[in-house]
Structure 1
Amino acid sequence: MQREKYEKNSHLRVLKEIAELLNEGTDISLLLSDVLKKLLQVTGATTGWIFLIGPDGRYNVASAENLPPALSKDHCEPLRRGSCWCIKGFRNGSLTKASNIIECRRLEKAAKLNKDETEGISFHATIPLTSADEVFGLLNVAAPGKKEFGRDELALLESIALQIGSAIKRVRLTKKAQEVALIEERNRLARDLHDSVNQLLFSLTLTARGGVEMTEDLETKHTFQHIQELAQEALTEMRALIWQLRPSGLEKGLIQAIKGYGEMLGLHVHTKLSGLLALPSLVEEALWRISQEALNNSKRHSGQVDVYVSIKVSKCKVHLTISDHGCGFIYEKEKELPSFGIESMRERVEALNGHFELRSELGEGTQIDVALPY
């Protein structure tokens, strides 16, 4: 009786420590890393890894601690590639509670190659990360020589996994709410600019045009013409800014938004789409902003009105290519990027673990290639 009471109090203490840690987290990657370290500290497990699994069944290793060489080599390649019973059970819905995995395909394969690389780990427990009716991935824990986790241990791990699932849901909902708030703020700012500055510039354009027609003095006429040209240029820039804040065509799809923005700039955008374009909002937002900057650069510097945009969607990556046949410029890869706008494009791509490449030759045009995972 005394032992049961001690174990119950111990489990409550563990859950309390994990809950406090999870409540502080705002970044899923850091949150999972911290909670996995804490979990290994307060339980009998020594090794752990977490799979996050998307609705399409694709998974990634979101966090890993104290892995044996059999699983950690080549940046966790044995975990990142292939399938196993855990992943299959998650995908087909048969894995719904904490379970002992007595035949781990990944560990068995590693042991056949070199048993020492498993460091005595041949079994592990796997626990779904859930919150209400949503599932996010799997928590896996192991220890050298441990062939089975007891009922109480599995119950504790299941409670921890439930806490982790709830934290993941909280962070994702918070992030989504922030994205919605940002969109609403952009829309508000776009409306304000349209109703105030945009209208004033339009009025200035009409006033300058009237001045040109009313005066006979050539010098005064030229002054009004210059004012009209500047006002028209500022009006075009303002409309581009409003479009960037609130792209009126994005709800109809990325391709239509890019074409519409190009037309607004006076460009003829030739588009090509390969594959089904159904992307996460962050990826679509990145492609949209990169396209805007590329079209702006083409308008300002290429000397051409034709721009070519290609989007190719594969199983786990989307490729964007934007090119023109304009004047181009001298660009050497080992040197810094030629403008802040191009640098911001690269930073946006790298923030999403993508690949960015710029190619340009004097008199041959410019091409930007982007590849983003999703």
Structure 2
Amino acid sequence: MTDKKTVQSLNETPEKRRNIPSISPSSTSDLETELRVYQAELEMQNEMLRETEDHLEESNAVYHQLFNLSPMPYFVIDSNLTITIANNAGAELLDKTPSELIGERFSRFIVPDFQDSFHHCLAGLSGKKLRNLVDTVITLDDKKQINVEIIAARTGATGLNYLIAVIDITERRQNVFTLRELKLLDNALDCVNAQVVYLDTNFNFILVNTAYAKVCGYPKEFFPGKNHFVLYPDDENEAIFRRVRDSGVAETYSDKPFEFPGHSEHGVTYWDWTLTPVKSFSGAVEGLVFSLTETTQRVKAAKVLQTVSEQLEDQVRSRTAELEDVNQQLALEMARRTLAKDELRALSRRLVELEEAERRRISQELHDEVGQHLTLLKMILDTGRRNNTMGKTAIESAIEQTNQVITQVRDLSLQLHPAMLDVLGLSSTLKALFQRLKDSSGLMIAFDGNIDDTRLNPDLRLCAYRVTQEALTNILRYADVNEAAVRLTDKKDHFCIAISDKGKGFDWAKLTAGKSSGISSMRERIMTFNGRFRLETGVGLGTLVEVELPYSIDKKQSP
């Protein structure tokens, strides 16, 4: 290869030849010699040019090989932003072949939001500024977006073409924070009471605050680089994380249950948590912020409160039911007392009426029967005294009148108080009563009596006698029968009286207090001795009165 000085002399020879002076014929041989020299120099120049051309072709081939094999995506675009050259890396970046990119407008790959900044970058290449750069986002045909950094420079003789170098910074963008920013964020998160985590889009820990590390039982340095769902596997939560990452929409949950793997002593814990996506300027999700607040104590307290509330409600319902039952019992008791008062008043009236009726009857008996017989006896005796003679007939008449008076007085005495009770006992006195009822009304009474009369005090005998007498009187008045039955039964600590008939019976529910004074009188007598009174009857079913009286002489105090 010729040196630089030789090439320069060859380049200047044509100019010098223009200034060569005219050659005389005598100098022809010199001229011929000079021409030979000049021809040799031309051949040398041609050889040098051939070598230079070969060198340029070799350099161009190397350049194209380096251009196509470069891992850096390169594009050459003209003033219309049309791609004229693209290397293999550039074609691979845009998911096309180099030939498919020729003629495409490069700007169509720039997302709309970054078109202005890209054009501004190219427009800035003027004067001494040989290159410019800009961060932008390109979109592929499959809608995938890539974060890139574009370095642009003018090229070509006219300077109207642009060489574009594209650097994929998607991975770098995922690590948003610088070390300084991470330190500041770490300090800020440690001032928060809630547990806070920053994760990448693959759910790997980038940063956790002290509160989160403390709850999990690890130092803060343990987490970065580890996957959240490797440490805490949970299919439901992982599905939520994926949904937030893919949709870019935050989600919030309250009192969500969680069990720490390998820490059964913690049991089920509860958390309020929010998962918020972190987005780039282009709107792409670059990470997730996971913030949590434990609500286990609140949930447990709420459950305890709910349990206590339910128990209180149960107690209130139970107490209300008890009060309603008590109110019903009180209402029934008031109704019973009202009925008892009505019966007592009716009984009192009836007793007064009976007392007055008995007085009238006794007075009438004394006046009509005993008085007449005594008057007749007096007349017989007066006649005998005046005549000073009393024949046998007169004496017999006086004796007969005297006997009648005695009988009537005895009957009255039995009705007022059966003295036989104190002498002969209950069974014998009842038999005498049954005989008198048979003689006076024709009522036949079947009697079965087997009690230890010696265990009865006078008051119990009188009570049993009066109850039986009242029951038989009611049979005579209302039953419309001529047969009845009385049975006395001796028990261990009490005795029983049963008075029954097969008469008409009656509807006990329709019987008013005023018309049941006989029954009320019997019941009142029995209750005085803490006894029991039961009545069974029905229309057309006859009547059964059952009485139980204790042998004990303690009386119940009447109100």
Indicate the TM-score class for this superposition, using the shorter chain for normalisation: 0.3 to 0.5
TM-score, structure 2 length as denominator?
A: 0.25
Higher RCO, 1 vs 2 (CA within 8 Å, ≥6 residues apart): 1
Structure number with bigger Rg = 2
TM-score, structure 1 length as denominator?
A: 0.36
